[in-house]
Structure formats: structure tokens, C-alpha cells
Structure 1
Amino acid sequence: MKSYRNSDPRPEIMRGSPPALVPPRHDWDRPPWNRWAFQHIREIVPTIEVWRGHGPVRALPTARVDELDALPVKNSAGGKTTLAGLLDETYTDGILVLKNGAVAYERYFNGMTPRTLHLSQSMAKSVTGIVCGILVGRGLIDPAAPVTTYLPELGQTGWAGASVQHVLDMTTGVRFSEAYTDRYSDIGQVDVAAGWKPVPPGSDPAFQWPQNVWELILGLKEQTRPHGEAFEYRSIETDVLAFLMERASGKRLAELVSTELWQKLGAEESACFTVDSAGYALADGGFNATLRDYGRFGQMLLEGSGNIVPNQWIEATRSGKHGPQFNVSLPEGSYRNQFWIRDPRSRALNCRGVFGQLIHIDWSSRMVVVKLSSYPDFVNHAYSVATGQAIDAVAAALA
């Protein structure tokens, strides 16, 4: 069954009683099921609340420019389209543009509403990295210290000799396969360990599947290069960072994100994390929040809210080692403290997740853009490039 764009008829996924079409447990994040599933995580896997607290909601004033629907942009093939056309082409669930802290553009598709929690995928890494920065500012974590200072058990793994900063920047030498379509790859095993998926049907009965994320981490024994030699994107680094944060603070990740971040930035809704069988909140991709609350997160960073995150941490995060040919979608990019940096000129930060999740934070345009999607593919570089170009066109239109 193929996926569907917002302009196409919607299939009867989870409609009716009983539902006509139920996402299979082993493929709920694949097309077309992900178009429903990314907005309904709490109906699929166990989750834990990230409480917003009792504090006031940060108001987002409105300064809408609705004619942005017709803004000329390029499609993924380089041809002409409009912003509305590109949003349809790229399987958008929601988009928010904040200019100087005000809502300039906001659209919801595919059944999403302002209260819907949407799966962040790897944007969760940036949320985790920011909370780590808060703990660093408080003196609970030293980025220059060995990982084993906080997690001595990792002395028997590929992380032996790595620093916390190596983990933050994904420059350890640990062997880890991020092959998303291989169910036996390390990231495929994370799906099972995190409780996202059952053991794949027809799998080798002799294969030892990890029971939880910590068990998987302890089983990663090999290094492919010296620590600090090169960047390599590996999701498990964020989970190591989260366990380290939990050990240093004495609190679980969901509580840390709630008390140190979500309650302070004025979130409108409580968020949630997916959890594994040991209650571990999946730091590398299990966070879920609303479109506007993702925007509030980006706006907090843009404003340099030193009472939440140390400004020197934000500045350090924007200071990476750039290209050339860093990434297909970000050829001049870099990676620092669990964030992508778009280029060395704007030093704009990106939170990025597979299937088209994005928070774009740009100090030069005073703009935050959140785009939540459910691509048919884990990665589509043409969609990502076209989205980046469209963001530039929006920035020019709002200048």
C-alpha cells in the first residue's frame, strides 16, 4: 500500500470501530502507516509524560502573512511551485514560522491539530543536548571528562577513552551501524530494544536481541577509529549521553526535560517520551510535542534565554568545524552538541529527524521554522534541499 499526500484521498487507517486498517506493529513507522502513527505514538508504544507544570504558557502573538501559501519556491526536482505545493509534495503534517517571536505562518494537515503531539524522531537529540548544556552550566557534567567518569561500566565498551564532548559531537570511534532499512543493523536493534518494534517476523531464532537500550549499549565493544578523529552520525551516542545525564543528576530523562526545560520555556502542552522495558526514555528519537511547543523551544534558543540555557552553551553549539561536503543536504554544515549547523556564515542551528522533521533557528533572519512531516522514506535529500531553499524564500519575503 503506497503512501498518500495531503491532496490525495486518505485511506481508512484507524478509522471506524473496529478500525478498517490497523498499522502493523513491525511497520508502524513505514509508509503509509507513519502518516497516522507519528501523531498517535501513545496508542502504539509505552510513553512517559514530560510535564509542562503549572506555569504560564508563553504567548505567541500573531502577525500572519497568509499569502505565503502562494510564495514561489522550487520543488524537489528544481522546478517551479508554490510553498503550498511544496508542503503537499513533502508530506507535511504541520508548519510554523515565527518571525521576531510572532506567528507569521501556521498550517496543519493530515488530521494534525494545534494540540496533537507529533513524533520528533532525531530532533529529540537536540532537546537532550540542550538539557545536557544546562547540567554543564550547573557544574554537574564536565564535557572534557571521560565518559567513564560518569558511566564506569562503559570502560568495557567501545567508549573506553572517549570524552563527554566526543559523545556530544558524535566523534567517538564506536562501531555502530545507522542502516535504517536493515532490521539487523545496530539501529534496527535499537527499535527492538527501545520497545518500538517486536522481534522481526521470521528472524533467526539464534540471534540475541537486546532486551533494552542499556543492554544494547553494553554490547557495543568495537572501535573503528580513534576518538575525536571524525564525525559519524550514530543515534546511540545520544542515548549514552542521556544515561550519563541521569547518572550525574540522579533523575530520569523525562523528569530532567520537564523540570529543566519544558516547565521553564512556557510550553502549552505536556510532551512525552517513548520508554523501553526498563523505563528508559528514548533520547535519540522518542520525544513528542506539539508544533507550537517545538516553536517555543526554537524561539527560546534564538532569544538566548540565559535563565534556562547558558548563553555560552548556545554560542558553543553554533561553533562547529564546517565542510566541505559535510552532508548531502548540508554541504557546508557541521554538527555540535547534538545540533546540526547549516553553514559557517549564518551559523543557523537545525534540529533534524528522519522522515522530514525540522526545527530551523536562524539569528540572521530572526526566524524559527518548524516543519513536521511523514515522508515515505527515512531520508529524502531532494525534499530536504527544497525545504531549505523554501525557508530562504520565506525569510526573504518576511525581511
Structure 2
Amino acid sequence: MDSYRNSDPRPPIMQGSPPAMVLPKLDWDRPPWNRWAFQHVREFLPTAEVWRGNGHRHRFERAEVDLDGLAVEDSTGQPTTLAGLLDETYTDGFLVLKDGRIACERYFNGMGERSLHLSQSMAKSVTGSVFGILVGRGLIDPARPVTDYLPELSVTGWAGASVQHVLDMTSGVRFSEEYTDRYSDIGQVDVATGWKPVPPGSDPAFRWPSHMFELILGLTETIRPHGAAFEYRSIETDVLAFIMERVTGKRLPQLVSEELWQKLGADESACFTVDNAGYAVADGGFNATLRDYGRFGQLILDNGRGVVPADWIEATRNGRHGPDFNPSLPEGSYRNQFWIEDPRSRALMCRGVFGQMIHIDWNTSMVVVKLSTYPDFSNVAYSVATVKAVHAIAAALN
């Protein structure tokens, strides 16, 4: 079924009593269903709260600028406006923070200021930041072997890998991130996390993992020496989360709440989806509001404000850049669960499939958050046009 843009008529997905169009469990993240589902995860998946606490709310001052008519390029390189690009790229929420103030805030597709939106892999950067806090506290040493913290992994492909290898996704573990193949490793993650049922008609002899740690224990092969090369694999983040839980005795939602969410002054409690064993899905199951994603980005831009260690953030901005690193970030790099845009700006990016992005740039004192529901897992043209638009906004505001 085709998706719809914000300028198109909106189909009655999960609207009415009973709903006229009921969300399919197997394809809730596919178009057009994802346009509803990414804002309503708590209504169809089990979740664990990331409590905001009883403390302060970090209030943003507003210094709004009308950016709707700003000249940018669309996904084909043709002239359009920012408003036109946001419509073309299936935007749900868009936020620009300049010098810590709100310069632009837009909601679409039924999203509001209290709506929690699925982060997809931006969750990796949230997890990585809390990991950095624990490293700064001396609870974890990135130079040590993974098996020092999770000895069960001595029979897996992570045997011999350091924690830093996992942080940078340079372990040699074989893991297929083929999103459209339901039998790939990432397809099995969908089942292990409880996001999807076992596909109907699947081979009855195929053993599907019942939870995430079971899946991790089944990854026994390597394809290259540890540290030899970067390869994006979501499962690495989940290994990190199990290390965090093992050394603290706390579950991930509690850790993110106590170490990050309560301290950044969030508006709303966030949440993680959880698997059958109660494990919070660190690689992509985090949900939060548009402004709270902005607060997270601003905290990183402010060099952690004593919450995330400043030296961890500085180290994160120093990656190994190579030619043709990524189709949408050709000069990019990856470090400590963040993307680095290029070696000159050293801007950090949190990225997730279907068009999730937090862009953090010290050179322009700007944070940009874009929450989206692309019809496809990835769209290089949309992503490139979005980053170009971020640069155009920075030029307009500086």
C-alpha cells in the first residue's frame, strides 16, 4: 500500500471505533502504517518507562524565524522551499535550536508537542551517551575485552573483541542488516524484540530467537579481524546495553532515566520497547518527544554540561574518516554510537531508519531534529537533501 504525504488526504488508520483500518502486526513499520505507528508505539507493543523524574524542566527560550520559505533543494536537486522539502520527506516533527533557543518548531501528521515518536537507531546514541557516563565513572573500561563483562560471549563472534570495537561497530562479528529480508539477522531481531510475530508460512524447522540475548548467543561467526573495518550492525548496541546492565545491576530504562533523562530536564517521560525477557531494545526501541530529542542534542552540544563527560564527547567527534564512507555521508565516520558528518565540521549525528535525525554542530551552535516516516527504510536522496537543508538553515541564521 502506498504512503501519503502531509499534503495528501490522511487515511483513517486506527481511527474510529472500531478502527476503519487496523494496524497489521507484521507490517506496522511499513507504509502507510508507519505514519501512524511511530507516534503510537505504546498502544501495540510492550514498553518500559524512562521516567523524567520530579525535577526541573529545561525551558527553551524562543527566538523564532520564519523558515518555511527558505530556498533549499529537493531530493532531485531542484529548487524548493524548506516547507516543500519537509512535505516531500514525510516529516512528522522538525525542530531547529540556535544558540539554545527555538528558532523553528513544526508538527505534522497528527503529531503534537507531547507525542512520543519512535527514534529507531537514534536510540544508539542515547545508549552510547549513558555508556560514556559509566565509562567516566570508572565502571567500564573500553579497552578491555567484551568477555570480561559478558563471559557468556566467549562462545560467540565477540570473543577477542574489545568494548571499543563494539562501540565503534568494528568488531568482526557476522551480522546481516538486510532490513527487507525477514530471515536476515536484523529480521530475526524483529522477532526477538517482540516487534514482529514469526512470519506466517515460515519454515517450521527454522529456529527463531525468543529474546535478544538468545539471538546474541547464536552469533558465533566472524567475517574479519576485530578492529579491521567499520560495518553498521545494530546488534552491537544491544551488547553494550547488556554490559551496562551487568556492571550496574540496573535495567536500561532505569539507567537512562537516572543518568540522562532526569538530568537534561525532559518535558515528558520517554519509553523503550521491551522483549519477552523484559530487555529494553537499545538499538532502536526508544521513544521521546520532539523537544526532548532537542534537549538531548543540546546537552551534547553543550559538551555534556557535567552529565555526559566532555572528554567522551570530544573523543566521539574523532573518528576514522575514509572515502565513500556511507552513501549519504561520503566523508563521514562512526564513533561511540554517533555518526560524524565530516572531518572538518566534526558535527555529530544521530540517525535512524525511515528518516530520523539529530544534527549537532558546534561551528554553527545549532541542533536540528527531524522525525519522519519515509516509505522506505532508507532514502539516500532524502537524507542528502535534509543535510543540505540543515546547512542552508545555518547560513540563514548566522
TM-score, L = length of structure 1? 0.99
CA distances 1:242-278 after superposition (whole Å, capped 9, x unpaired): 0011001111100000000000000010000000000
Partner of 2:331: 332
**Partners of 1:261 and 1:168 in 2: CA distance:** 19
Alignment of 1:384-399 (within 5 A): 384-399=383-398
Percent pairwise identity: 77
CA distance in structure 1 between the partners assigned to 2:361 and 2:385 by the alignment: 17
What is the aligned partner in structure 2 of residue 23 from structure 1? 23
Shift of 1:304: 1.1
Match of 1:262 in 2: 261
SS in 1 for 2:392: helix
1:8 corresponds in structure 2 to 8
1:50-61 to structure 2, matched below 5 A, reads 50-61=50-61
Tell me if 1:373 matches 2:387: no
CA contact (8 A) 2:28 2:37 kept: yes
SS at match of 1:190: helix
Shift of 1:165: 0.2
Which residue does 2:174 correspond to in 1?
A: 175
**AA paired with 1:58?**
H
Aligned partners of 1:307 and 1:329: how far apart in 2?
32
Aligned to 1:229: 228
Per the TM alignment, residue 201 of structure 1 is displaced from its structure 2 partner at its CA by 1.1
Aligned to 1:69: 68
Cα deviations across residues 93-150 of structure 1 (Å, max 9, x unaligned)?
0000000000000000000000000000000000000000000000000000000000
Aligned equivalent of 2:158? 159
Map residues 236-315 of structure 1 onto 2, 5 A cutoff.
236-315=235-314
Query: Is 2:299–2:305's contact at 8 Å kept on the other side of the alignment?
Result: no
Letter matched to residue 107 of structure 1 = R
Report the count of equivalent residues. Answer: 398
Displacement, 1:305?
2.7
Task: State the distance in 1 between where 2:161 and 2:305 align.
Answer: 29
Deviation at 1:306, TM superposition (A): 4.0
Letter in 2 for 1:320: G
Report whether the alignment pairs 1:46 with 2:46: yes
Q: How far apart are the structure 1 equivalents of 2:331 and 2:306?
A: 31
1:352-387 CA distances to partner (integer Å, 9 max, x unpaired)?
000000000000000000000000000000000000
**Which residue identity is paired with 2:30?**
R
Q: Quick one: distance in 1 between partners of 2:209 and 2:243?
A: 20
Deviations, residues 288-317 of structure 1 (Å, cap 9, x unaligned): 000000000000110113420110000000
Distance in 1, Cα, partners of 2:210 & 2:11:
35
Secondary structure at the counterpart of residue 335 of structure 1: strand
Deviation at residue 213 of structure 1 after TM alignment: 0.3
Residue of structure 1 equivalent to 2:35: 35
**Letter in structure 1 aligned against 2:289:** T
Q: CA RMSD in A?
A: 0.4
The one-letter code of the counterpart of 1:5 is R
Q: What secondary structure does 1:115 align onto?
A: coil
Runs of 4+ in structure 1 displaced over 2 angstroms?
Answer: none
1:202-261 C-alpha deviation (Å, 9 max, x unpaired) = 111111000000000000000000000000000000000000110011111000000000
The 1-side partners of 2:305 and 2:286 are apart by 24
2: CA distance between counterparts of 1:19 and 1:305? 44
Q: What is the rounded CA distance, in whole Å, between the counterparts of 2:203 and 2:61 in structure 1?
A: 55
- In the alignment, the residues of structure 1 paired with residue 198 and residue 309 of structure 2 have an alpha-carbon distance, to the nearest angstrom, of 42
* One-letter identity of the residue aligned with 1:185: S
Deviation for aligned residue 1:62? 0.2
Matched residue SS, 2:306: coil
Structure 2, unaligned runs of 5 or more: none
| Alpha-carbon distance in 2 for matches of 1:12, 1:282 | 29
User: 1:118 corresponds to which residue?
Assistant: 117
Aligned counterpart, 2:86: 87
